[in-house]
Amino acid sequence: MGAADVPDLARVQRERSNDLLASLAAADLEPLLPGLRWRAMRLGDMLYEPGEPLQHAWFPVSAVVSLHHVTASGACAQTCSVGHEGVIGLPLFMGGGTTPSSAVVHTGGHGWRLDRRLLATEFARNGALQRALLRSTQALIAQIAQTAACYRHHSVEQQVACWLLATQDRLVDDQLVMTQELLASLLGVRRESITQAAGRLQQRGCIRYRRGHISVLDTGGLRLCACECYGAMRAEMRRLAPAVSPAPG
């Protein structure tokens, strides 16, 4: 591994970087640089599988990742999603090492990959990285709890609207590459239910759906179709979001 492979501070802290990494001061970020690598995160990539030891933490920048709980029958449903605001790989610093869930890229893009040993070493220093990771964990726990309530009490149409809004918040544009089959799998419902819900949202002028692409046309209208879960999750994520440090310059 050559010195040319190691990213510099300005690159990691540049505009539209991962918010958690960008929140760290230079003295806290520099020890991570030897283990950070810029990687493509392609649609459908499996970052880790149930029961398998995790090897890396991932800090998405333009990609969005879904955490799935998988049943014994192979059925799955999304429990939460992570974009540029957070990190994938909580078991690496929470002490578990493995997890019964899986992590799958549902919106392709790029992000930073960090070696698990370096993450564990720097987390144990009890510094700014540890505090940032714990706040990210709290935000993820809140999202999981809200998602559980949403699945139990709200309609598929409301869930679809919430999911689209939450994903749009993490994207650089309003174009989502998403098939109805994949969305049905993420929400743990039948494809027919997604077809009906997406059709109603399209009739209201909130979205346009064609050939695996969903365009959000009316964010305000989509919010009216969503349940309160979107606003609650968004508020909690903003409350716990790290303050981004200025890039060195």
Any long-range contacts for 4-11 (C-beta under 8 Å, 24+ apart)?
5/37, 6/33, 6/34, 6/36, 7/33, 7/36, 7/37, 7/38, 7/112, 8/33, 9/33, 9/247, 9/248, 10/247, 10/248, 10/249, 11/38
pLDDT at residue 248, as a whole number: 44
pLDDT at residue 4, as a whole number: 54
Stated pTM of the model: 0.88
Beta bridge partners of 88: 58
The CATH 2.60.120.10 domain(s) of the chain lie at 3-150
Nearest-angstrom CA–CA distance, 87 and 36: 13
Give, rounded to a whole angstrom, the gap between the first and last alpha carbons of the chain: 27
Cβ distance 85 to 237 under 8 Å? yes
Q: Residue-wise over 136-165: b if at least 16 C-beta within 10 A, else e?
A: bbebbebbbebbeebbeebebbbbbbbbbb
For residue 186, the number of C-alpha atoms closer than 13 Å in the C-beta half-sphere is 27
3-state secondary structure 132-192: HHHHHHHHHHHHHHHHHHHHHHCCHHHHHHHHHHHHHCCCCCCEEECCHHHHHHHHCCCHH
Cβ distance 187 to 150 under 8 Å? no
Ranges of residues in the chain whose predicted pLDDT is under 70:
1-5, 13-16, 173-174, 242-249
* CATH fold of the domain at 3-150: Jelly Rolls (2.60.120)
Question: Residue 161 is which amino acid?
Answer: A
Domain 155-226 in this protein, CATH class? mainly alpha
The CATH 1.10.10.10 domain(s) of the chain lie at 155-226
Cβ distance 171 to 64 under 8 Å? yes
